[in-house]
Structure 1
Amino acid sequence: MEDELTDYTNRFRTAFETAHRRLAHVVIAEIDSELTPRHLFMLAMISKEQSPKQSQLAEKLGVKPSAITVMIDRLVQSGHVIRKHHETDRRIVLVENTPKGNEILAEATEIQKKVIARGLSQLPPDELHIFVNAFEKFTSFY
């Protein structure tokens, strides 16, 4: 039984990582942007955290603050993100999506939904039901 679970674990990881990578590349190709999948993920994190500190982003992503700084620098240069000082403590620097950043994030989200729908539409209705229910159940464990 343990060997079978190991096999399923490996198959799931491979399929999940492949799907995630392919979806990200299709979305990037369809939005016609200079951004990378990692840039889009960073815009999504910034939006979700609502004006986080760079150190917060680094902690959430499990990377060193210097890695976040480089990515934020690129997003600032491209006009997708701004840095601003905290209202009461000027030592704290926050990051925020610009309207351009929010626009590209919204476009990417809509394209992602369409791309996922295209893939899901290839499954017969009974398999689609099983797939989505099983995936929802799986994610509920975390």
Structure 2
Amino acid sequence: MAQHKRLPIDPIAEAKRQWLDHGWADAAPGMTLVTSIMRAQQLMLARVDETLRPLGLTFARYELLTLLRFSRSERMPMASASARLQVHPTSVTNTVDRLEASGHVRREPHPTDGRATLVVLTDAGRTLSEQATAALNAEVFEKPGLSRADTDELVRLIARMRRDAGDFDDPRPQPDPL
């Protein structure tokens, strides 16, 4: 990853100090949390982009290819892709447009719903998804920048935050297999 010049101070800690100095003590922890998460997202996205760029992919395109690869028939309605990726349908349409132009997906009419369109993974798309996953595993996911325990704890905390914000419901308890 391209290195940037280290700052002599933590700008987020300085922002917190300023919040406290301005009398916003009740908001300072939340501002620090939000700003820290947003900066961490920038750092992670930079690593992901650097890994995917040689493959000609963005993270949005990678996510869609991999979602299709993980689906049972390597196809799904575009509305389902939008829901699973938690993005606006227009974003999925734009992503599909680009992946279709590069030969990594194709559109097909839905067999039973004349209003719906399926997005279908091509052989080239499957291969690219596999290559990108191998690169991301090696360069980003296996080395996220935190210990395993810290990674697990952070994921747990963020999942609780997402659940409490209405992002998802806790899974229903599943019976033990027979």
The alignment's TM-score, normalised by the length of structure 2, stands at: 0.60
* Residues 97, 134 of structure 1: alpha-carbon distance in 2 compared, 3 angstrom cutoff: same
Q: 2: distance between equivalents of 1:68 and 1:119?
A: 27
TM-superposed deviation, 1:111: 1.1
Q: Deviation of residue 69 (structure 1)?
A: 2.4
Alignment partner of 1:35 out of 57, 61, 71: 57
Q: CA deviation at 1:46?
A: 3.1
Distance in 1, matches of 2:31 and 2:91, equals 34
TM (norm. structure 1) is: 0.72
Report runs of 4+ in structure 1 exceeding 4 Å deviation: none
More helix, by proportion: 1
Counterpart secondary structure, 2:55? coil
- Partner residue of 2:131? 107
Q: How many residues are paired up?
A: 133
Pair 1:131 & 2:150 matched: yes
The two structures, once aligned, show a CA RMSD in angstroms of: 2.7
Unaligned 5+ segments in structure 2 are 1-24, 164-178
Structure (1 or 2) with the larger CA radius of gyration: 2
1:54 aligned residue: 78
CA distance in 2: counterparts of 1:36 and 1:46, whole angstroms: 16
**Alignment deviations for residues 14-41 of structure 1 (CA, whole Å, 9 cap, x no partner):** 2331233112212213xx2233232212
Map 1:1-142 onto structure 2 (within 5 A).
2-29=26-53, 32-48=54-70, 50-60=74-84, 61-63=86-88, 65-116=89-140, 117-118=142-143, 120=145, 128-141=147-160, 142=163
Q: Distance in 2 between matches of 1:137 and 1:67?
A: 28
Identity level (%): 18
Q: Is the 8 A contact 2:75 2:118 kept in 1?
A: yes
Mind listing any 5+ residue stretches in structure 1 that lack a counterpart? none
